[in-house]
Amino acid sequence: MEPIGDAAQLCPAVSSMASLERKPSPDANKPLSVTRSIWQWFCHESWHGFGGRWGIRVFPNAPCLCTRGLLDLGGTMMQPQHSHTNEVRDRRLRLRIVCPAYPAFNIYSRPAKVMTALGPICIATAVQDVPGWDAEVIDENNYRRGPVDAEGRPDHDALQRTRPADVVGLYGGLTSTIPRLYEIAKQYKDLGVCTIAGGHHFTDDNNEQALCNGIDVVVLGEGEKTIQELLTCFETGTDLSNVPGIAFLRDGELCRTAAREPITAFDDLPIPDFSVLRHARMRYYPVSGVRGCGMDCEFCTVKGRPRFAAPERMMEQFASIYEKWGGKVFFIVDDLFGQNRSDTLRLCRMLRDYQQRAHTRFSIMVQIRLDRARDGELLQAMREARINNLAIGYESPIAEELKAMNKRLDPQEMIELTRLYHRAGFRIHGMFIFGYPAPEGQPFRMSADERVRHFRRFIRKARLDTVQVLQPIPLPGTELTARLRRAGRIFPTDTVGLEYYDGNFPLFQPDDPLTPEDMQRAAQKIMRGFYGPRHLLAVATHVIAFPGVALWLHNIGAGWQKWYRGWARSVYRSGGWLLLRKWTDAFRKDGFLSKLAEVKRNCAPRRVHRSYTD
CB-CB contact of 192 with 75 (8 Å): yes
CB-CB contact of 290 with 279 (8 Å): no
pLDDT at 81: 29
Compute the distance between CA of residue 531 and CA of residue 583 in angstroms, rounded to an integer: 13
Q: Which residues 6+ apart lie within 8 Å of 413 measured at CB?
A: none
Q: Band of the pLDDT at 32, cuts 50, 70, 90?
A: very low
535 closest CA partner among 503, 504, 579: 579
Is the model's pLDDT at 394 over the cut of 60?
yes
Strand, helix or coil for residue 452: helix
pLDDT at 613: 33
pLDDT at 90: 55
| Residue range 146-163, pLDDT digits in tens | 999 999 999 999 999 999
pLDDT at 237: 87
Percent of the chain with pLDDT over 90: 64
* pLDDT, mean of residues 228-250: 93
| Residue range 458-492, pLDDT digits in tens | 999 999 999 999 999 999 999 999 999 999 999 99
Q: Band of the pLDDT at 4, cuts 50, 70, 90?
A: very low
Is the model's pLDDT at 25 over the cut of 60?
no
Q: Which residues 6+ apart lie within 8 Å of 496 measured at CB?
A: 505, 507, 592, 595, 596, 599
List the single range of 126-140, 269-283, 440-454 with lowest mean pLDDT.
440-454
| Residue range 291-313, pLDDT digits in tens | 988 787 889 888 888 999 999 99
Between 22 and 397, the higher pLDDT residue: 397
Is the model's pLDDT at 560 over the cut of 80?
no
List the single range of 209-223, 450-464, 469-483, 596-610 with lowest mean pLDDT.
596-610
Compute the distance between CA of residue 214 and CA of residue 186 in angstroms, rounded to an integer: 5
Residue 72 CB neighbours (<10 A): 10
Q: Band of the pLDDT at 507, cuts 50, 70, 90?
A: very high
Q: Which DSSP letter does residue 605 get? A: P
Between 430 and 555, the higher pLDDT residue: 430
Between 179 and 540, the higher pLDDT residue: 179
The overall average pLDDT reported for the chain is: 83
Q: Band of the pLDDT at 231, cuts 50, 70, 90?
A: very high
CB-CB contact of 44 with 38 (8 Å): no
List the single range of 38-42, 264-268, 415-419, 473-477 with lowest mean pLDDT.
38-42
Q: Which DSSP letter does residue 267 get? A: G
List the single range of 14-28, 55-69, 576-590 with lowest mean pLDDT.
55-69
* pLDDT, mean of residues 381-396: 96
Q: 3-state DSSP helix/strand/coil percent for the chain, to nearest 5?
A: 45, 15, 40
Q: Band of the pLDDT at 553, cuts 50, 70, 90?
A: low
401 closest CA partner among 434, 367, 447: 434
List the single range of 139-148, 226-235, 600-609 with lowest mean pLDDT.
600-609
HEC-encoded secondary structure of 234-248: HHHCCCHHHCCCEEE
